């Protein structure tokens, strides 16, 4: 018996990050790779991409669906209907601090011969691990934990461990 193929996580992650931005008083923005399936004002497209404010204050009738993001917004004072296929969204982030998530590019933008098929199963001992590593000097594994950082202090950085 074959189980149905699961749907993409992209629309769920977009909704979750939109909610996170809204709950924290941030302004959610989406970066979209534009093609003929994207309905946006073309005069605002730069290098095949447009960034849209999808906050409730900037939109009317916002619907973050599994297949499309739909809303009405004003561009240069003119109301416009916006329709973006979820697969064309390449990032969602908070305007104020840049925190958010980027997604793989749409399939038509991948170099020839590259596919985004499901990866081969990986043995647990060969799994990749991402570890947070402090960028502050003097923090070693044996050191006692430091008190919370003060505003303006350096932030941890991601380091991929293979």
State pLDDT tens for residues 68-85.
999 999 999 999 999 999
**Does 24 fall in a domain?**
yes
**Does 87 fall in a domain?**
yes
Segments forming the whole domain that contains residue 84? 10-104
**Does 124 fall in a domain?**
no
Share of the chain above pLDDT 90, in %: 59
Q: Is the model's pLDDT at 96 over the cut of 70? A: yes
Distance (Å, whole) CA 122 – CA 21: 34
pLDDT grade for 106, boundaries at 50, 70 and 90: confident
Q: Is the model's pLDDT at 87 over the cut of 60? A: yes
| Dihedral sign computed on CA atoms, order 121, 126, 128, 132 | positive
Average pLDDT, the chain: 79
User: Rounded mean pLDDT of 17-24?
Assistant: 96
Task: Find the CATH number of the domain harbouring 15.
Answer: 2.30.30.220
**Does 44 fall in a domain?**
yes
Residue that is written with structure tokens 């240069």 in the block: 76
**Does 15 fall in a domain?**
yes
**Does 70 fall in a domain?**
yes
If you count them, how many residues does the chain have?
A: 162
Predicted local confidence at residue 113, as pLDDT: 52
Q: Is the model's pLDDT at 35 over the cut of 60? A: yes
Cα dist. 4→1, 7, 72, 115, 117 in Å?
A: 10, 9, 34, 21, 16
Q: Is the model's pLDDT at 64 over the cut of 90? A: yes
pLDDT grade for 54, boundaries at 50, 70 and 90: very high
Q: How many domains does the chain have?
A: 1
DSSP 135: -
Distance (Å, whole) CA 25 – CA 57: 11
**Does 22 fall in a domain?**
yes
**Does 62 fall in a domain?**
yes
């Amino acid at each position: 018996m074959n189980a149905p193929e699961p749907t993409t996580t992209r629309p769920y992650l977009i909704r979750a990050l939109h909610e996170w931005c809204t709950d924290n008083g941030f302004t959610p923005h989406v970066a979209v790779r534009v093609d003929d399936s994207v309905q946006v004002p073309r005069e605002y497209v730069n290098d095949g991409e447009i960034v849209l404010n999808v906050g409730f204050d900037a939109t009317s009738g916002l619907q973050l669906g599994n297949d499309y993001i739909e809303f009405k917004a004003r561009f240069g004072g003119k109301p416009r209907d916006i329709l973006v296929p979820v697969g064309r969204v390449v990032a969602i982030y908070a305007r104020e601090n840049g925190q958010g998530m980027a997604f793989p590019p749409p399939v038509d933008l991948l170099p020839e011969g590259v596919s985004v098929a499901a990866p081969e199963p990986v043995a647990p001992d060969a799994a990749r691990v991402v570890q947070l590593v402090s960028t502050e000097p003097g923090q070693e594994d044996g050191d006692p934990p430091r008190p919370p950082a003060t505003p303006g202090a350096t932030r941890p950085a991601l380091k991929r461990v293979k």
